[in-house]
Structure 1
């Protein structure tokens, strides 16, 4: 996570950010360059999307369904308490939503290229498989 509240404004890619994983470890997003993306339970996009429980409960729930991917700690995505990465994502030219920059609902998705740049934002209503058609251009 950026040390200062406004440092996110000088970031040039997602690789400039750190975040806390589900086990409380600080993780540089640089380790995901050209790799898998972690999931981050939303804690504040809207009242409807607030993931219940603390990180340990969320992890136990996910493991109960055989989830093996890395997960981040629950974070805020809107408002003054939003994680700097989310502030940055929403301000990118292709990260802006059609109804403003706020994340309106859980499952808003961003397609990030190998350089860590936002290339497209998808609405929460779009099935994740719709992203598949856009991937070949960025592989």
Structure 2
């Protein structure tokens, strides 16, 4: 029951790939300064989620169509976004911002090491935690609850 309450209280987002702005991500004040392209190609300002705790997760495999089919098959109820680059020169500004605010434990850089790297964003749009891909999402419940 506690898990159901937690999930209903957060806006969970899976970003397969994001389109975001501002281009100079270092000047952004929060994730609300960015937008993302959803799985249907529509631009969504992230300020839509203002006041909610967000879980931003990257997932790489598949095309947008395959990702959409997968999420429908599994009854996904949260917003899913179009595929984007999260590392390298072509990484979108939002992911550069996420990695700037929570660089992770990689000793050489802040790269996303693998699919399902998770970022927790508080109600004010601040990136407050970064978790490793292998961490079970259910283990995030206490972290998410402390920001609700």
For the aligned pair, the TM-score class normalised by the smaller chain equals 0.7 to 0.9
Following the alignment from structure 2 to structure 1, what is the Cα–Cα distance between the partners of residues 132 and 57? 17
Please state which structure has a larger fraction of its residues in strand: 2
Match of 1:29 in 2: 46
Task: Give TM-score scaled by structure 2 length.
Answer: 0.77
Q: Show the 5 A alignment for 1:73-112.
A: 73-92=82-101, 95-99=102-106, 100-112=109-121
Local SS of the residue matching 1:119: strand
Following the alignment from structure 1 to structure 2, what is the Cα–Cα distance between the partners of residues 9 and 82? 14
TM-superposed CA distance for 1:68, in Å, is 2.5
89 and 16 in structure 1: CA distance in 2 versus 1, 3 angstrom threshold: same
Q: RMSD over aligned Cα, in angstroms?
A: 1.9
Whether the 8 Å contact between 2:54 and 2:120 is mirrored in structure 1 is no
Match of 2:136 in 1: 127
May I ask how many residue pairs the two structures share in their alignment?
A: 127
**Any gaps of 5 or more consecutive residues in structure 2?**
1-19
Following the alignment from structure 2 to structure 1, what is the Cα–Cα distance between the partners of residues 45 and 103? 24
Following the alignment from structure 1 to structure 2, what is the Cα–Cα distance between the partners of residues 117 and 59? 28
**Any gaps of 5 or more consecutive residues in structure 1?**
43-49
20 and 39 in structure 1: CA distance in 2 versus 1, 3 angstrom threshold: same
110 and 79 in structure 1: CA distance in 2 versus 1, 3 angstrom threshold: same
Q: Show the 5 A alignment for 1:39-54.
A: 42=59, 50-52=60-62, 54=63
Match of 2:8 in 1: none
Following the alignment from structure 2 to structure 1, what is the Cα–Cα distance between the partners of residues 140 and 57? 18
Q: Which among 37, 52, 56 is matched to residue 20 of structure 1?
A: 37
Q: Compare relative contact order (CA 8 Å, sep 6+) and give the higher one, 1 or 2.
A: 2
